[in-house]
Structure 1
Amino acid sequence: MTLAFQYLRSLLYMIQIYVAMLVLGIVFAPYALMSKNGARQACKTYARWAIWSARWMVGIRCEVRGPVPKGEVIVAAKHQSFLDILVIFNALPQAKFIMKRELMWTPIIGVYSKRLGCIPVNRGKRGAAIAQMVKDVAREFSEPGQLVIYPQGTRVAPGVQKPYKVGSGVLYEELKQPCVPVATNVGMLWPRTGLLRKPGLGVVEFLEPIPQGKPRDIFMAELESQIEARSDALMAELGFDKDELRRID
């Protein structure tokens, strides 16, 4: 298979998933406006379509490993591309995401995110943003669910070092819930920038929960160690060499 043909397949795939987002967003709108469950079903349908069509259009197969949490927990995940969002959301029964505030104003994603109870964060205000995030989370957790946060705050390309932010530790302390770390390698196949989508097995792995009650600094160190070590191992399954930093993005 030529590189040019894979680029064409990638282009067609990306076009159709955005068309599918628009179509499903409109079709499910009445149900979503009446019920949070309607909004959740719309997003689940979209995630399943995007994952399924990735398999036959660009050759990306997706696999979920580890025990998927069902109760009220914090899910702290490695974030490499849009694909890990789709796989995590599809796997969890009632996911709510901590997400940047700007996305809440986009036409389809923003409307459905609000209906799901996702938590917007103004990343430019740091301390004030964390305080507001804690208040918003407390309000939204009147209903049970899994709160998904990206500890590094943004998508990070394979091999790139980026610090873990304190927000995960604050939520861990405030909510007094266990935290499930999540590792992934999907950035090897679906980079955070660029068009090309590469065939292979993309994995999202739920790791052993970190029990509640640990000091914040110990929790943060354990969280980073688990996620980074396991993500490196998953990326190695696709041939990633940790010494070749930034070779994907």
Structure 2
Amino acid sequence: MSHAFQWLRSLIFIIVIYLWMVVLGILFLPYAIFSKRGALRACKTYARSTIWLAGWMLGLRSQVRGTVPTGEVMIAAKHQSFFDILLIFDAVPHAKFIMKRELLWTPVIGLYAKRLGCIPVNRGKRGAAIAQMVRDVATEFSEPGQLVIYSQGTRVAPGAKKPYKVGTGILYGALGQPCVPAATNVGVFWPRKGILRKPGLAVVEFLDPIAPGVERDRFMRQLEDTVEARSDALMREAGFDPDGIS
């Protein structure tokens, strides 16, 4: 019975947050069209209110650990669900996400992503897509912000293994900026697919920065080892064994 009740709460929550997205998108639209600050304020409002609703409606609390990056950095994050996007976006001053190009055509999300300076990537073109991403980032970083890239390229379920893509290393070398790894356990509570959201403590943790200038292969190994080890520890803290026993 408790599982069925949590499922129903989750369904209501999903309906509420998507309706709220549309409402906020419409209310802030005139401001967002004429001012990037308006788009940022709209998205910050959405992120914070959805995080609050998750705690109130689902019993899903959240916590951001580590030193939140505020300067010009690249954040290379573990991606497990929509919730880690919200937690990172709420935490840092001005996140700009590397995102799949298809999202530009999504109602509300596409418009606001453009205004925030998010970088669309055509994942099907590989080498050409990476080169275009580097050019777009160089153009967009004429304005301050924290560039967020998901190094595995997509949401990855807790316990699943997926290689880290070299685009992160290429971008790290091109930017010449520190890279802040970010670990998470949010997928234990808010899965990449399905309706059920579980109560608990979802965590995003910013880890020690990797200084600019590290050789690409070494950087990629250090990034993957650091993020995966800390994410596994956070998942175990949440009662999930990423090695296959939950």
* TM score, norm. by length of structure 1: 0.98
- Gaps in structure 1 of 5+ consecutive residues: none
Equivalence for 1:199? 199
Identity among equivalent positions (%) equals 71
Partner of 1:227: 227
- Tell me by how many angstroms 1:2 deviates: 0.8
Counterpart residue identity of residue 35, structure 2: S
**Partner of residue 126, structure 1:** 126
Deviations 1:109-167 (A, max 9, x none): 00000000100000000000000000100110000110000000000000000000001
Shift of the alpha carbon at 1:242? 2.6
Figure out how many residues of one structure are paired with residues of the other and give that number.
246
Q: Which runs of 4+ in 1 moved over 2 A?
A: none
Matches within 5 A, 1:99-110: 99-110=99-110
Q: How does 1:62-73 map to 2 (within 5 A)?
A: 62-73=62-73
Distance in 1 between residues matched to 2:213 and 2:238, nearest whole Å: 36
Match of 2:16 in 1: 16
Q: Does residue 59 in structure 1 map to residue 48 in structure 2?
A: no
Quote the Cα distance in structure 2 between the aligned partners of 1:122 and 1:20. 29
Residue 78 of structure 1 corresponds to 78
TM-score (norm 2): 0.99
Q: 1:216 maps to what in 2?
A: 216
Q: Write the distance in 1 (CA, Å) between the matches of 2:134 and 2:55.
A: 38
Q: Which amino acid aligns with 1:226?
A: T
Q: Counterpart in 2 of 1:117? A: 117
Q: Which residue of 2 aligns with 1:5?
A: 5
Distance (whole Å) between structure 2 residues aligned to residue 158 and residue 40 of structure 1 = 30
Show the counterpart of 1:157: 157
Q: Deviations over 1:24-81 (max 9, x none)?
A: 0000001101110100000000000110000010110010000000100000000000
One-letter code aligned to 1:54:
A
1:243, distance to aligned residue in structure 2 (A): 2.5
Give the distance between the partners of 1:164 and 1:243, measured in 2 at CA: 18
1:96 aligns with 2:96: yes
Q: How many angstroms apart in 1 are the aligned matches of 2:49 and 2:144? A: 26
Unmatched 5+ residue regions in structure 2? none
Structure 2 CA distance for aligned equivalents of residues 172 and 134 of structure 1: 10
- What SS is found at the alignment partner of 2:125? coil
Q: CA RMSD for the aligned pairs?
A: 0.9
| Structure 1 residue matching 2:108: 3-state secondary structure | helix
Code of the aligned partner of 1:68:
V
Letter in 2 for 1:14: I
SS in 2 for 1:227: helix
Match for 1:10: what amino acid? S
Q: CA deviation at 1:240?
A: 1.2
Query: Aligned equivalents of 2:16 and 2:58: distance in 1?
Result: 12
* 2:24 partner amino acid: L
In the other structure, the counterpart of 1:32 is 32
2: CA distance between counterparts of 1:80 and 1:70?
A: 23
